[in-house]
Structure 1
Amino acid sequence: MDQQKLRTLVFEKTGIKIDVDDPVFALVALNEAVLAEAVERHVALLDDATADLADQADALLAAGAVCRYQGGAAPQAAATPQRAPAPGLSHAERRMMALAAGAALLCATLVLLGQALLFRPAPPPAATVIAKELTPEQALAIRNGEKMAKIVQKLDQKTRNAIQAEMQKP
């Protein structure tokens, strides 16, 4: 375990600097020990499985099974003869296959039609019209409102309060 290499790796991945005396290295050492033990267990299991497989292959060879190895292909046992494929399908089998294909096409068509009818997308919302310019009435109302605000500021406090109270009413 190269601690400097681990420190550099941690810094590159996380941006965190760790010291060589950091307790995280104790966890790394513990992890290595546990991993080594697990690897030893798995290697022992693989060795046992390989030995069992070799024993089974020896038993097959002793029973008279002949294995032919063809290049990159897996070995094949020649003890069991291969069945020749059927020369063709009978009329009844062809009819059954045609019925099954027809039923599959009918089901697929029904599913697609059902989806098209039942799952229509929601219509897009109605377009909102936003005026780019104010109408003459709107411009006049704004001008009148600005004039009214200037006039109200010139009135006495009691009258301004009364106007404000009236404006608050619905």
Structure 2
Amino acid sequence: MSIGSKALVSILLALLSSAPMANTLGLPHDQYMPDDLYAARQDKPDQMLFEVDSYRLTLGTEYRPNALPSPQSAGVWVFVQGRSLIAGSPVHQARIAFVDAGSKARPARLEPDTQTLLIEYPVAYMQTLMRLLDGDAPAFVQARFYGNGTIWADVHGGD
């Protein structure tokens, strides 16, 4: 009987030790994800995914009297809309903001009132993003929010 329990323990240990390596969650668009170099994506995330149907570019400037340190600010935003590819997900739009070189982009987040995904990229990415959105292949917006606080967000092309 001890041989059977030793075999069972060996099988369980083998399964437990291989679980992080498996990490194949089978989510839509897994093939567009980079390798998980730091093993941070261990659990099944809340995923938002939609195919882009339209977009609009906004260039804005705002002057705020009596504001410090600078009373004028400017920005560039791309608003994308489409159809969700995740059953039951109300998220089908994103606002992509561009931050100046040297500024830190904030992590992606969901605006709960409007169900809008907010993504920030360095301003140097803007031309590449516009080429992707104007290209012949479909474009997709994806975000994954993991239980440990890891957040992944992207805009990618595909078939």
Same fold (TM over 0.5): no
- Normalised-by-shorter TM-score class: under 0.3
Greater fraction of residues in helix: 1
TM-score, normalised relative to structure 2: 0.20
> Larger relative contact order (C-alpha < 8 A, sep ≥ 6)?
2
The structure whose Rg is larger is 1
Greater fraction of residues in strand: 2
